[in-house]
Structure 1
Amino acid sequence: MKVACFSTKSYDRESFDLILPKHAHDFTYFEAKLDKHTVSLAKGFDAICTFVNDHLDASVLKKLNTLGVKNIVLRCAGYNQVDLEKADELGFKICRVPAYSPEAVAEHAFAMILTLSRKTHKAYNRIRDNNYSLEGLAGFNLNGKTVGIIGTGAIGHAFIKIALGFGCKVLAYDLIEDKSLKTLGVEYLTLDELLSQSQIISLHCPLTPGTKHLVNASTIEQMPDGVMLINTSRGALIETKSVIKALESRKIGYLGIDVYEQEEDLFFKNLSEEILMDEQIARLMTFPNVLITGHQAFLTKEALAEIAKTTLQNLDAIASGANLVNAIKYSY
């Protein structure tokens, strides 16, 4: 199949090119993001390959349909960027990568916790300035702390195992409880109970209409003073303006985010020579207790290899008419 791959970086090309010879597909890489302005690049292709910030809304899907492109493979797990109703109406086949490396994201989330709790980012900068003072670098132990995990799928599960290894008390919330986690001592609570009892809260749930702005002024008020909040899932789980107010009042004591509600025009780009026009992220970066990374939690060699492998297997299945085990279907 001829495949147009959008939003590609060097690491995407390297991971795919390594195993492409084993598959009967011809990839053309585009650095451009897929949207209404770039969709015409898909002309003449059998399929497109997209990432988290590519647009697959109704207008783009209609244009793809007009161009004769009916196969879409996402090289990510989330699919909130896809208008599934319109895709189903137009007869698209869409597959995703449901689990590339849960450990990669879980480990990054915990790296953010360790960085914030021990202020290693500040220490690193001090040493580079030949400043060896320890003033203001006092942190806190993770052992014995209560950690609340919202979402106990594959990534949440991996995160919980790390937290237990640090000697944390683990609370969890999910619509479906994992019995295997209960046997490890994890306690499932209601969302309200988890929010009120957790000193550290880590988000590992998908973005849906029901979870958008899960963290808002009301839910923040339920949290303990000085809570640490970590988000490596989807940016819109957090209502940014409410979090900024909570940081200003010190209700939130620490914030670590690898995703951002308005990340589309920022992340995956080098904007070092540009003027930052996003006032909310600019404000977040003024807080000494905020750590931001640019959607890199997934970025390990192992995860990239699995993404390429599963994406190409999805294309193989589409081409051969086999059962699409990773298909995304619209639920009526």
Structure 2
Amino acid sequence: MRVAFFSTKSYDKESFNHHLPDFNHELTYFEPKLDINTVALAKGFDAVCSFVNDHLEEKILNKLSEMNVKNIALRCAGYNQVDLKKAAELGFKICRVPAYSPEAVAEHALALLMSLSRKTHKAYNRVRENNYSIDGLTGFNIHGKTAGVIGTGAIGRAFCKIMNGMGCKVLAYDIYESDELKDLGVTYLPLNELLAESDIISLHCPLTSDTFHLVNKDSLAQMKDGVTVINTSRGALIETKAVIKALKNRKVGNLGIDVYEQEEDLFFQNRSEEILQDEQISRLMGFPNVLITGHQAFLTNEALAHIASTTLENLDELEAGKELTNEVLWQE
């Protein structure tokens, strides 16, 4: 199968090229993201392979359909960037990588939490400037805290286990409760109770119409004063304006995010020589108790290997017309 590969980074090429000899597919790598200005690059291909910021909206899908490109391989778990209803109407076949390395993302959430709890990011910068003062670096123990985990899919379950091992009381909220976690002592609660009782809140749920701006003015008001909020899932789970206000009035004591609701035009690019136009992320970076990484939680050797192998296996199934193991379907 001939595949147009969009939003290509060096690590994509390395991981996919390593696995490609075991598969009968031809990948053409394009650095630009898939949008209305680049969709023409897919002409003559059998499929497109896209990532989280390639928005497969109606006009893009129409163009792909006109070019007879009806196969879409998402090399990510999320699919909120796809107009599934329109895709179904046009007869697209769509597959994804539902779980590449839950531990990679869960461990990154822990890394954000631990850096914030002990202010290691600030200490690192001080020592590089030959400043060995520890004034202002007082942190807090994670052990003994109450950790609330919103979403207990594969990543959320991995994070619950980490927090359990750190000596936390672990609370969870999900529509579907995990018996495995209950056996480990995790307590499922209604969302409002979890928000009120947690010292640490970590988001591990997909972005849907129900979870959009899950962290907002009202939900923040239910949280403890000084709560630590971690988000390694989807940026739009947090209403940025509301969390900025909560940081200013110290309702939120620490914020660690690997995702950002306006990340599409920022992340995965080197903008170090540009003047930052996004005032909200500029404001966030001005807080000493905020730590931001650029959507790198998935970025481990193990995760990249799994993304590549699963995506190529998905392409095998698409080419053979088999039932798709990881198909994404429109649901009313």
User: Is this a same-fold pair by TM over 0.5?
Assistant: yes
What SS does structure 1 have at the residue aligned with 2:215?
coil
C-alpha displacement of 1:151: 0.1
Aligned to 2:195: 195
What SS does structure 1 have at the residue aligned with 2:228?
strand
* Counterparts of 2:286 and 2:154, CA distance in 1: 33
C-alpha displacement of 1:233: 0.2
C-alpha displacement of 1:322: 1.6
**C-alpha deviations, 1:238-277, integer Å up to 9, x for none?**
0000000000001100000000000000000000000000
TM-score normalised per structure 2: 1.00
Counterpart amino acid of 1:118?
R
TM-score normalised per structure 1: 1.00
* Counterparts of 2:141 and 2:230, CA distance in 1: 17
What SS does structure 2 have at the residue aligned with 1:330?
coil
Structure 2 unpaired stretches of 5+? none
* Counterparts of 1:132 and 1:57, CA distance in 2: 52
* Counterparts of 2:132 and 2:95, CA distance in 1: 52
Aligned to 1:94: 94
Counterpart amino acid of 1:163?
M
Structure 1 unpaired stretches of 5+? none
Counterpart amino acid of 1:330?
W
* Counterparts of 1:42 and 1:55, CA distance in 2: 14
Q: Identity percentage over the alignment?
A: 70
* Counterparts of 1:95 and 1:3, CA distance in 2: 14
C-alpha displacement of 1:20: 0.5
- What does residue range 286-325 of structure 1 map to in structure 2 within 5 Å? 286-325=286-325
* Counterparts of 2:258 and 2:4, CA distance in 1: 27
Aligned to 1:34: 34
* Counterparts of 2:54 and 2:192, CA distance in 1: 34
Aligned to 2:15: 15
* Counterparts of 2:2 and 2:129, CA distance in 1: 52
C-alpha displacement of 1:321: 1.5
Counterpart amino acid of 2:201?
I
Aligned to 1:66: 66
Counterpart amino acid of 1:318?
L
Aligned to 1:278: 278
* Counterparts of 1:187 and 1:268, CA distance in 2: 37
* Counterparts of 2:287 and 2:232, CA distance in 1: 19
* Counterparts of 2:310 and 2:183, CA distance in 1: 31
What SS does structure 2 have at the residue aligned with 1:147?
strand
* Counterparts of 1:211 and 1:109, CA distance in 2: 19
Q: List structure 1 segments (4+ residues) > 4 angstroms apart after TM superposition.
A: none
What SS does structure 2 have at the residue aligned with 1:229?
strand
What SS does structure 1 have at the residue aligned with 2:253?
strand
Matched, 1:104 2:104: yes
Matched, 1:5 2:1: no
C-alpha displacement of 1:323: 1.6
* Counterparts of 2:2 and 2:323, CA distance in 1: 20
**C-alpha deviations, 1:141-185, integer Å up to 9, x for none?**
111000000000000000011101110000000001001100100
**C-alpha deviations, 1:180-235, integer Å up to 9, x for none?**
10010000000000000000000000000000000000000000000000000000
Greater mean alpha carbon deviation, residues 306-315 or residues 317-326: 317-326
* Counterparts of 1:39 and 1:71, CA distance in 2: 14
* Counterparts of 1:180 and 1:167, CA distance in 2: 18
C-alpha displacement of 1:299: 0.2
- What does residue range 250-289 of structure 1 map to in structure 2 within 5 Å? 250-289=250-289
What SS does structure 2 have at the residue aligned with 1:127?
helix
C-alpha displacement of 1:92: 0.3
* Counterparts of 1:313 and 1:165, CA distance in 2: 35
Number of residue equivalences = 332
**C-alpha deviations, 1:87-145, integer Å up to 9, x for none?**
00000000000000000000000000000000000111111011111111111111100
